[in-house]
Structure 1
Amino acid sequence: MSTSQKFSLELFPPRTPEGAAKLPATLKQLAATGPEFFSVTYGALGSDQNGTYETLMTVVRETGVEAAPHLTCIGSTRMHIAALLNQYRDAGVKRIVALRGDLPATAYSPAAPGEFHFANELVAFIRESHGDHFRIEVAAYPEMHPQADNISADFAHFKRKVEAGADAAITQLFYNADAYFSFRERCVKAGISAAIVPGIMPITGYQNILRFTANCGADLPRWIRLRLEELQDDKPALLDFGTEVVARLCETLIKGGVPSLHFYTINQADPTLRLCSALGIGRR
């Protein structure tokens, strides 16, 4: 694989003092691979909004790499989002990941509580208030959002986000390359020119990957699940198998002409470093 392949990395704000203490060393290891940017997530119900800013500034301070904060609709007011955008712009941020956000477990409506109900409204507000200053990324679901009524309704919602002004999309995790290519083909047929960047989740454990895929509605192919189940008590073998599976997926995507790869790091350096090494991408 070519070392020129673009990629980016996702982090979440540390939830414990121990996690915060480990973050600078993890960042330096990850930054050494040469990512295009880091994205920093925003907690459910906005619980990590302060942590997002602090983590973003830690990324910039420790690595000098561009950082993109996530913004969500959950519980947000126009005034609050406006203040955050100004704060990020003043900090030199030029890229935003705009999302609806995870709804609370008690929610019965697909709309987020607050003044922004859907991500397309948030995208439109960013464009109205800041023009083209920010590059805006949104979410895409090659296998359908788990709360969507059907796949056509889900795609129509994605199209509204692009029409509102999104520049690119980062997909939810998946382990079936055909799901990505089918979604991208549908975008082309619908006249959507925004870049569709595949989101890549390393496999590091049996139970956690079952949980991740169940929560986001992603398919975990049966042959992968059965092999992981068999290897769950042999950590080195499971890691080797997981790296092989995800690297093969990435190779297929790269050969298929993806614009970039977006790795979900879960604030760990080793899984992503293993994948970069297997793929021959990044600095070495």
Structure 2
Amino acid sequence: MEPKSRLVGDGEIDVSFEFFPPKTEKMEETLWHCIHRLAPLRPEFVSVTYGAGGSTRERTHTTVSRIIKETNLKPAAHLTCVDATKAEVDDVARDYWTSGVRHIVALRGDPASGVGDHYVPTPGGYANAAALVSGLKSIAPFEISVAGYPECHPESANLDADIENLKAKVDAGADRIITQFVFDGDYYLRFLERARAAGIWVPITPGVIPIHNFAQVSGFARKTGATIPAWIERRFEGLENDPKTSHLVASAVATEQVLGLVDEGVKSFHFYTLNRADLVYAICHLLGLRPAPVDSAKAKANAA
């Protein structure tokens, strides 16, 4: 579906942003530039990714805690089943609740050895995302988001099995579905229709990934089973060594994607920012979002 272009008014759509925790001091500077750049756009929430291993979990927790202390944003912490027992995951969840986190993105997670490898549940751990959702709801009344796959999860036998797995997560207590990024809005709309036909009535927010680097994002798409339409490929032809123009094209492409779904009645969008603030900010501006006035009192308190 190659969408039409039009401008939406400020407040007509809701957005949320995904960040990943920094590994180095330089990456931390980039992350916080991104957070402060996008915060005035009043996202519904911001999520922070999480991987296997203690150091990654600590970076996620540190980032989420700082967002709570230094901003007015509502953070959603990612939590997975990978390489952790139920007791270890539950401890992390309790720590999040104590630190003020009320929203968790509950994911099965990819195998620690790499995306695409066969997933094997951790002995003594949660078997899948549905079990994780159920466990989290027993700990505290978290708001819980889970993942959906408009073009089918790479490990699912077929679309019917994928929808059945999705319904299990919702039946376990999930409050929202955030989809894997999708480039062709028709895939999202068909997925939405299948989910509703299966009795899934929670909000289903489409994921959007701005194409900051076509080769890199194409690699992400291959791993997750997302289709890049030919019309998008043509937009980026010949720009392999021209990042400035590529970013201008990316802004236009993502804006068209979103507006095409807005025309179909979709009002919420989740941006996978890859911690690239300026590109995402430009897209949101094109969509009609405008920054809120700065909370000067909190800004002064944070600067003190």
Fold conserved between structures, TM > 0.5: yes
Equivalent residue, structure 1, for 2:201: 193
Pick one of 133, 144, 156 that aligns with 1:148.
Answer: 156
Say whether residues 1:117 and 2:103 are aligned partners. Answer: no
TM-score normalized with structure 1 length: 0.94
Say whether residues 1:87 and 2:134 are aligned partners. Answer: no
What is the CA–CA distance in structure 2 between the aligned matches of 1:228 and 1:237, rounded to whole Å? 9
Alignment-mate amino acid for residue 265 of structure 2: G
Tell whether the 8 Å contact from 1:94 to 1:134 is kept in structure 2 after alignment.
yes
- 1:259 Cα shift? 4.2
- Superposed CA deviations along residues 84-126 of structure 1, whole A, max 9, x for unmatched, are 1111111111111000001134786444324112100000111
Equivalent residue, structure 1, for 2:276: 268
What is the CA–CA distance in structure 1 between the aligned matches of 2:251 and 2:185, rounded to whole Å? 16
Tell whether the 8 Å contact from 2:126 to 2:132 is kept in structure 1 after alignment.
yes
Tell whether the 8 Å contact from 1:41 to 1:70 is kept in structure 2 after alignment.
yes
Say whether residues 1:127 and 2:137 are aligned partners. Answer: yes
What is the CA–CA distance in structure 2 between the aligned matches of 1:108 and 1:209, rounded to whole Å? 20
What is the CA–CA distance in structure 2 between the aligned matches of 1:152 and 1:110, rounded to whole Å? 20
Q: 1:27/1:182 Cα in 2 relative to 1: closer, same or farther (>3 Å)?
A: same
- Superposed CA deviations along residues 235-264 of structure 1, whole A, max 9, x for unmatched, are 222222211111011011122222411111
- Superposed CA deviations along residues 141-184 of structure 1, whole A, max 9, x for unmatched, are 00111122222211111111111110111000110000001011
TM-score normalized with structure 2 length: 0.88
Tell whether the 8 Å contact from 2:19 to 2:31 is kept in structure 1 after alignment.
no
What is the CA–CA distance in structure 1 between the aligned matches of 2:122 and 2:87, rounded to whole Å? 15
Pick one of 197, 205, 216 that aligns with 2:213.
Answer: 205
Tell whether the 8 Å contact from 2:37 to 2:277 is kept in structure 1 after alignment.
yes
What's the Cα RMSD here?
1.7
Equivalent residue, structure 2, for 1:64: 72
Alignment-mate amino acid for residue 25 of structure 1: H
Give structure 2 stretches of 5+ with no counterpart: 1-7, 293-304
What is the CA–CA distance in structure 2 between the aligned matches of 1:86 and 1:44, rounded to whole Å? 18
What is the CA–CA distance in structure 1 between the aligned matches of 2:210 and 2:117, rounded to whole Å? 32
- 1:21 Cα shift? 2.8
- Superposed CA deviations along residues 214-273 of structure 1, whole A, max 9, x for unmatched, are 121100112322432322222222222211111011011122222411111111211110
Tell whether the 8 Å contact from 2:19 to 2:46 is kept in structure 1 after alignment.
yes
Alignment-mate amino acid for residue 128 of structure 2: F
Counterpart secondary structure, 1:8:
strand
Pick one of 2, 16, 20 that aligns with 2:9.
Answer: 2
Equivalent residue, structure 1, for 2:183: 175
Alignment-mate amino acid for residue 58 of structure 1: R
Alignment-mate amino acid for residue 96 of structure 2: Y
- Superposed CA deviations along residues 158-215 of structure 1, whole A, max 9, x for unmatched, are 1111111101110001100000010111111111111000111011112111111112
Moved more, 51-60 or 233-242: 233-242
Percent of residue pairs identical: 37
Equivalent residue, structure 2, for 1:164: 172
Tell whether the 8 Å contact from 2:34 to 2:275 is kept in structure 1 after alignment.
yes
Tell whether the 8 Å contact from 1:196 to 1:258 is kept in structure 2 after alignment.
no
Alignment-mate amino acid for residue 278 of structure 2: D
Moved more, 182-191 or 110-119: 110-119
Pick one of 100, 104, 111 that aligns with 2:112.
Answer: 104
Moved more, 202-211 or 103-112: 103-112
Tell whether the 8 Å contact from 2:111 to 2:117 is kept in structure 1 after alignment.
no
Tell whether the 8 Å contact from 1:11 to 1:40 is kept in structure 2 after alignment.
yes
What is the CA–CA distance in structure 2 between the aligned matches of 1:148 and 1:242, rounded to whole Å? 30
How many equivalent residue pairs? 282
Counterpart secondary structure, 2:9:
coil
- 1:179-258 → structure 2 map (5 Å cutoff): 179-258=187-266
- 1:46-61 → structure 2 map (5 Å cutoff): 48-61=56-69
